[in-house]
A and B are shown apart, each in its own frame.
Chain A
Amino acid sequence: MSTFITPVLNYAMLAPILVVLAGALIGVLIEAFAPQRSRSSSQLLLAVFTLIVALLALIRTRGTYSNKVAMNSVTFDGAGYLLQMSILIIALIAILLLADSDKFAAAPTAAPGSDEERQAQAANIRVTEIYPLTLFAIAGMLLFTVSSDLITLFVALEVLSLPLYLMAGLARRRRLASQEAALKYFLLGAFSSAFFLFGIAYLYGYSDSITFAGIAAAITGGAANDVFLLIGISFVSVGLLFKVSAVPFHSWAPDVYQGAPTAVTAFMAAATKVAAFGAMLRIFYVAFAGDVWQWRPMLTAVALVTMVFGSLVAISQRDVKRMLAYSSIAHAGFLLSGIIALNKSGLDATIFYLFAYGVATVGAFAIVSLVSDSSGEVSDLNRWAGLGKRSPWIATSFAFLLLTFAGIPLTSGFVGKFAIFSAAYESGNTAILITGVLSSAIAAFFYIRIIVLIFFKDPVEDGTSVVIPSMYTRITIVASLIITLVLGVFPAPVLDYITQTAFFLR
């Protein structure tokens, strides 16, 4: 009979994750017991409070690093610190968008078009489960970036994914599309998770270990069965590449981005990307680094196809949310270059890029949620024509964020692209560099085409207008714009800070 080992947990370091989980649980209680009237505001308050406390708890851990937290399954190091920080900041900005609760289904469990739904709508019921769901997802994301064994990684993946599947189906209008998106996301997510799990099994078979350090040691030792390693890396990659929506595992993204409530899309597109790339950085930099010559060509090919495909297909989109989805696919390609670089500057650049891109994405989707007509949001690009004349401020803000995505100087996007392509160049990967710059050029084409559409086309008179943003949405947009601008004009302090802080404990 084996002895039971008492798990030793470092609560101070786990505090951010625990705080968010606690907040989520309290949210569930509020949902169950608090009166309907006060739910919305108390949930928002709780969520914001939770995130701020988590952020403070995270900052308290600054400078204390360990890879022995929670029985070697979690590693807190510089990179983890920065990634968790990014996720919390982005979540804090994005969660304010949820405050516009009339965007979410009144009775999510009722079938679309049913009597039950009509009654719920007539009674003006607002459902606020979305807050605890978001907090659960955030907790999963925080854990995802610091997991240092494959089982914890898988648990974190599921903790972050399951709430997102639900959240995608919560749209108040066009509920069928929303539910279809949720179901697709769930099915495909489950499918890719299966690959992921399969890959974990092979990696265990190869290395006789589930920790990253153990796998790294096995690769360095080099005695074990290479085929197991090969299958393991491939299939674990499939799971991660699915999450970051790299081609050919991207197909869920446009449908889900379009169908999900815009506020959810904003959170999902920004925070999930940080978490998934964070985990990917760790596993490739720590566990698989010794085998780089095997996976680098494979990942390079994926990155190249992703950049080109995302940029090309974005051009022919007629829907602003789908366009942003393809743009995020293209960005996934650019971000992959940072992982492939497998050097210190690649790590720094990827973290900067993730944060900058995440913040800008939240802002862009926040603006998309404002453009609407009597029946809800208008995401048809043709109806955005002439927006600059009707709402110059909103149009200018959107144009600025598009320029960020395009990587025009004086925006954070430029700094990020520059850093990441420099890292790729440093690692000698000219194919990535050339393709990256070319697809950036293609991408600039469709971003700027939208700017032309907004500012230089005459408006169509079809009742499309911009709703006056609520205070919360306004904070989101302004915060996103300011961070984007500051990171674009004075990137040096942040870049320096990242350079000093970012590292992986092996």
Chain B
Amino acid sequence: MVTSSSLVYLIGLPLFGAVFLLLMGRKADKWGHLFATAMSAGSFVLGLLHFFAMTNRSEEERPITQTLFTWIEAGDFKVDAALLLDQLSICFVLLISGVGTLIHIYSISYMSHDENRRRFFAYLNLFVASMLLLVLGNSYLNLYVGWEGVGLASYLLIGFWNQKPAYATASKKAFVMNRVGDMGLTIAIMIAFATMGTVSFDGVKEAVDRVGTPTLTAMGIMLLVAAAGKSAQFPLQAWLGDAMAGPTPVSALIHAATMVTAGVYLIVRSNFVFDAAPTAQLLVVIVGAITLIFGAIIGMAKDDIKKALAASTMSQIGYMIVAAGLGPAGYAFAIMHLLTHGFFKAGMFLGAGSVMHGMNDEVNMRKYGGLRKMMPITFATFGLGYLAIIGVPPFAGFYSKDEIIATAFNSGGAQGIILGSVTLLGAVITAFYMTRVMVLTFSGKPRWDDGVHPHESPALMWLPMALLAIGSVTAGYLFTQGEALVHWLSPLFAKKGEYDELMPHSVVTVLAITAVIIGVTAALMKYQFKSVDSVVPTDVSLATRLARNDLGQDVVNEALFMRPGQALTEGIVAIDERVVDGAVRGIGAMTVGSGATLRRTQSGYVRSYAALILLGALVLLAGIWVVTQ
């Protein structure tokens, strides 16, 4: 039986792998990837053991903690480095280590020609360790360590091929935009510390009643900022598309299945804060809804297969954020969609990697076409993921998305109608752009460049894809069977309030399926039954042009943040140089000057030295005499 004392090894194994491989250097090149995979797999097996152990315990006894050491102690304030494994974190542990291990396996083959493969695997292990720490920390401060760790790993992996300046820039962009979000988390922690005197989840949960709503609202908004940064939500979404510069397994693991969902985790984990701060909760919903549509629109116009998938990720996380913002009614569904999304989106990214692998690293879908026959396995696994994401029953995405749409409609009043419509509209667009990806890639006539010979990827690559595809097919059914996941998670959240069912669940299901049919049909009309140009058409509508440019997100960022930011730093530098440095230099010059003047007393003549001593003696005498009188 596994006990709480083994929790540390969940993180320890991959962390050891990362440190060990980085320290070993080139010596470990031959077997480093296997070692890293074993570490990740070990973590997964341990996670499974913990999961089974947890299911055997009664509901109250399920959460377990392991205190590692006292981290910070200052007066009354004490933070332990402690790990908490409860019903929520075990879901993440299994997702992270499970999908992580599959992606390790996939990368063995995918990265086999890269001479820095060992370093890549070390970073992957570092990521897995940090992400596990993020979800296992028992306080905001412990979470923060993992939060920064995944940011670092993400930065290292996006810029893994940093010999290309554009890739290095992309990693920097991701890092900087994440920092904006991190600042939100920092402030949230400070608010907790200042007003509640504690930063642990339990402590904050208890303290919620003691502090006023304005405090909680502020903390909630800051947590939302943090979530938006990590999860690429409006208005901090711009980095995710560029993050696709990293190797494709990285995109699958970090920028689809796990790290980008950390924001959802943060909000769900902080449910007690948001439940008590309706304003913050409303903002969460708004941010999610905007991103949901925003990402979907961008996804419609992207020709780069990875960027199309990235836009889709953004949009799907929008769904999760909306669900998380709907309070106790939605938390479980947010997590459910997160898990199913983890399967199908990771599977599709790996599929995209497989396609690129066969197409000489081409990412432009307009240069694909007709790959169905050349890559049957990739087509099949990708196709299953496709069916899952657009929400065709009985695939995974259908269940989770359906629940979110229903919860949105039923959140009541005008908000319910607007949210329901938005999520439905999102479903239409999702169906459209995913069908577009599918058709452009696997169907139609080949539009390949000369000298490209598509071929199926080796087993080491398609096996993980197949396993993920199984997840994409079955996960949704398993989670909703007897409301398994909802019951599993419910002890962690407040009781759902009673609400009027605006729309019966069956109606929502029909609506959702209709939305899918509309989206798929529109896409088929446009791409399947017409020939597709391998050159990007230029005579397109303004809307398309906008969507191609990510709805101007970079322009906005530049105008709103970058230029004023640069002006500010330049101004500060000028002030620093003229005023601060000027003062310092002035004092310095004055000091040097006085030193030089005093130096003249050092004439070198022994007679003047003796005179000085005599003078000194007399002054001493006079001094004492004056004091005495």
Residues of A within 8 A of B (CB): 183-184, 187-188, 191-192, 195, 226, 230-231, 233-235, 237-238, 242, 247-249, 251-252, 254-255, 293-295, 297-298, 301-302, 309, 312-317, 442, 445
With contacts A184-B606, A238-B617 known, is A294 near B599, CB below 8 A?
no
With contacts A233-B624, A295-B624, A298-B627 known, is A187 near B613, CB below 8 A?
no
A188 touches B624 (CB 8 A): no
Give a binary string over B609-623; 1 marks a CB under 8 Å from any A CB, 0 the rest.
110110111011101
A249 touches B613 (CB 8 A): yes
B606 touches A187 (CB 8 A): yes
CB distance from A143 to the nearest CB of B (A): 25
Q: Report chain A residues within 8 Å CB of B627.
A: 293-294, 297-298
List 16 contacting pairs A-B, 8 Å CB cutoff, sorted by A.
A183-B606, A226-B628, A230-B621, A234-B621, A235-B621, A242-B613, A248-B615, A248-B616, A251-B602, A251-B608, A252-B609, A255-B602, A295-B624, A301-B623, A302-B620, A316-B599
Query: Is the C-beta of B594 less than 8 angstroms from some C-beta in chain A?
Result: yes
- Describe A's contact surface by its main secondary structure: helix
Q: Report chain A residues within 8 Å CB of B598.
A: 309, 312-313
Q: Which of A187, A234, A255 contacts B617 (CB 8 A)?
A: A234
A188 touches B620 (CB 8 A): no
B595 touches A238 (CB 8 A): no
Interface residues of B in 349-370 (CB under 8 A from A): none
Give a binary string over B177-199; 1 marks a CB under 8 Å from any A CB, 0 the rest.
00000000000000000000000
CB distance from A314 to the nearest CB of B (A): 7
B623 touches A316 (CB 8 A): no
CB distance from B615 to the nearest CB of A (A): 7
Q: Report chain A residues within 8 Å CB of B606.
A: 183-184, 187-188
A231 touches B594 (CB 8 A): no
A231 touches B621 (CB 8 A): yes
CB distance from A308 to the nearest CB of B (A): 9
Query: Is the C-beta of B542 less than 8 angstroms from some C-beta in chain A?
Result: no
B613 touches A230 (CB 8 A): no
B591 touches A315 (CB 8 A): yes
A316 touches B628 (CB 8 A): no
Q: In whole angstroms, how far apart are the Cα atoms of A315 and B587 in the complex?
A: 13
Q: In whole angstroms, how far apart are the Cα atoms of A234 and B627 in the complex?
A: 13
**Tally of B interface residues using CB under 8 Å:** 28
Q: Which of B604, B613, B619, B624 contacts A255 (CB 8 A)?
A: B604
B602 touches A235 (CB 8 A): no
With contacts A184-B606, A184-B609, A298-B624 known, is A249 near B616, CB below 8 A?
yes
Q: Which of B609, B615, B624 contacts A230 (CB 8 A)?
A: B624
Q: Report chain B residues within 8 Å CB of A316.
A: 592, 595-596, 599
Query: Is the C-beta of B69 less than 8 angstroms from some C-beta in chain A?
Result: no
With contacts A254-B602, A294-B624 known, is A314 near B595, CB below 8 A?
yes
Q: In whole angstroms, how far apart are the Cα atoms of A309 and B599 in the complex?
A: 9
Q: In whole angstroms, how far apart are the Cα atoms of A445 and B599 in the complex?
A: 17
Q: Report chain B residues within 8 Å CB of A297.
A: 623, 627
Q: In whole angstroms, how far apart are the Cα atoms of A233 and B599 in the complex?
A: 29
| Chain A, residue nearest B617 (CB) | A238
Q: In whole angstroms, how far apart are the Cα atoms of A442 and B594 in the complex?
A: 12
CB distance from A407 to the nearest CB of B (A): 18
Q: Which of B592, B601, B604, B610 contacts A188 (CB 8 A)?
A: B610
B612 touches A445 (CB 8 A): no
B617 touches A195 (CB 8 A): yes
CB distance from B607 to the nearest CB of A (A): 9
B624 touches A248 (CB 8 A): no
Q: In whole angstroms, how far apart are the Cα atoms of A234 and B613 in the complex?
A: 12
| Chain B, residue nearest A191 (CB) | B610
CB distance from B620 to the nearest CB of A (A): 5
| Chain A, residue nearest B606 (CB) | A184
A251 touches B623 (CB 8 A): no
| Chain B, residue nearest A230 (CB) | B624
A248 touches B595 (CB 8 A): no
A251 touches B594 (CB 8 A): no
5 nearest A-B pairs in the assembled complex, by CB-CB distance: A248-B616, A251-B609, A316-B595, A312-B595, A315-B595
CB distance from B415 to the nearest CB of A (A): 57
Q: Report chain B residues within 8 Å CB of A312.
A: 591, 594-595, 598
Q: Report chain B residues within 8 Å CB of A226.
A: 628
Q: Report chain A residues within 8 Å CB of B529.
A: none
CB distance from A495 to the nearest CB of B (A): 24
A238 touches B613 (CB 8 A): yes
Q: In whole angstroms, how far apart are the Cα atoms of A295 and B602 in the complex?
A: 27
With contacts A184-B606, A242-B613 known, is A298 near B591, CB below 8 A?
no
CB distance from B583 to the nearest CB of A (A): 14
CB distance from B381 to the nearest CB of A (A): 57
B595 touches A234 (CB 8 A): no
Q: Report chain B residues within 8 Å CB of A248.
A: 612-613, 615-616, 619
Query: Is the C-beta of B625 less than 8 angstroms from some C-beta in chain A?
Result: yes
A298 touches B623 (CB 8 A): yes
Query: Is the C-beta of B582 less than 8 angstroms from some C-beta in chain A?
Result: no
Query: Is the C-beta of B586 less than 8 angstroms from some C-beta in chain A?
Result: no
CB distance from B564 to the nearest CB of A (A): 34
Query: Is the C-beta of B458 less than 8 angstroms from some C-beta in chain A?
Result: no
